Amino acid sequence: MIPGLRKEYNERFTNEKYEAFIEDLSNIYPGHLEFRIAETPVFIPKEFTQKMLSACESIIDIISKPSYQDQSENAIPASLYVPNEDSHPQFIAFDFGICYNEQGELEPQLIEMQGFPSLFAWQVFVADTHQKHFAWPKNFSPYLNGLDRESYLALLQKIIIEDTPVENVILLEILPHQQKTRVDFYATKELLGIETVCITELIKEGRQLFYLRNGEKTPVKRIYNRVIFDDLFQQSAEIQEKGKIFQEELDVTWIPHPNWFYRLSKYTLPFIDHPYVPHTQFLDKILNLPVDLENYVVKPLFSFAGQGVIIDVTEQDIQNIKDPGNWIIQRKVNYAPVIETPGENAKAEIRLFYFWEPGADRPISASNLARLSKGKMVGVRYNQDKNWVGGSFCLFEN
């Protein structure tokens, strides 16, 4: 995206440097890095960053209004409603594609958003390790809003832990040591000191939750929640039974509260009017299907990691959908194969991390991850036979 920097990076790149980078990264938690890391970061000029931030801020304007909770009440499936909801999510992730507009110019287009955590800790190690092996241009950083590594981690710690004793804060997941993102759980423990706990390990006594820490029953006061209900419902009956604690009144603080996974999601897109947010409608609200269906994509509201998305959509596909109220139809965006690599160019998607500090009126942009692709879908699971693809990060021009 910055031709001079891209040319310089590619000319200096060697497979030996990349292999050394991957070896170092893999050895942080040996045997646990299960997704591909791309050969390059994405260099983002200031103007492009500002366009993404403009879209994010317009969405934050909407969700910051008290009326948004009433507006988004139907986003939460009734059977999954969790009591004691906060007025806002502590974390938001905004996913943008780098796209061509009708004039052939590069611009961001919002693909999705989630009121849910991402790889907040792991990305620190990715950037640190990359910088050991590759030269970074001056005045570029993976952090936003004037943050650096130290202040970023201090903010993350303040949001997740606040002033609670660290032993009373847990990261909660389903079978965490089997998750492909488990390196982030281990990084969170290393950087913040909180234990990762499987939902099956929780002990409930009345409104209180406990877990065993070094064999000692320990109260849980704050839960850094990584459980996605869509994943929960694919588990055994025993695990699903343990998952019913979400619908119970508990003396815990959720970080973020699970309801925000639904309130701030694909469900929000039809309410947004912004040049960098593709036109989106609820499928059941469409009176007449677009005649140019090839320019649209259909997505289920309640899924994750791209599952269930129909890219080359037909009328028959839509007729086959039994619950159109749980789907959206979105104007397809033209991803730009803008990242020059050996062989074919790569497309890129950028995820901006927003953190909402306790007591603040609004969240702030903090850091990022990126994903490079040479296939139809962006994501590490869809490009396994390619190189110069996979997980990465952006370096933003200051």
Give tens-digit pLDDT for 101-146: 888 889 999 988 999 999 999 999 999 999 999 999 999 999 999 9
> How big is the CA angle at 211 (ends 205 and 216), to the nearest 5 degrees?
105
| The pLDDT value given to residue 383 | 63
Asked if the peptide bond before residue 256 counts as cis, ω within 30 degrees of 0, the response is yes
- The range of the structural domain enclosing residue 393 comes to 3-397
- Could you give the 3-state DSSP secondary structure of residue 200? helix
Residue pair 163/359 in contact by the 8 Å Cβ criterion: no
The predicted structure's pLDDT at residue 241:
94
Place of tokens 């806002």: 88
pLDDT of residue 77: 85
pLDDT tens digit sequence for 212-271:
999 999 999 999 999 999 899 999 999 999 999 999 999 999 999 999 998 988 888 888
CA distance 48 to 77: 36
Number of separate domains in the chain: 1
Q: Residue 351's closest CA among 159, 155, 92? A: 92
The answer to whether 9 touches 136, Cβ cutoff 8 Å, is no
Q: What are phi and psi of 266, to 5 degrees?
A: -55, -25
- Cβ-proximal residues to 55 (8 Å cutoff; 6+ apart), any chain: 94, 96, 108, 110, 274, 276, 277
Q: b/e map of 258-283 (b: 16 or more CB within 10 Å)?
A: bbbbbbbbbbbbbebeeebbbebbbb
Amino acid, single-letter form, for residue 130: H
Token representation of residue 36: 């591909």
Instruction: Give the pLDDT score at 306.
Output: 59
Q: Where are the alpha helices (DSSP H) in the chain?
A: 3-12, 15-26, 46-63, 67-71, 122-133, 149-161, 182-192, 229-232, 237-242, 259-263, 315-319
Q: Which residues of the chain have pLDDT under 50?
A: none
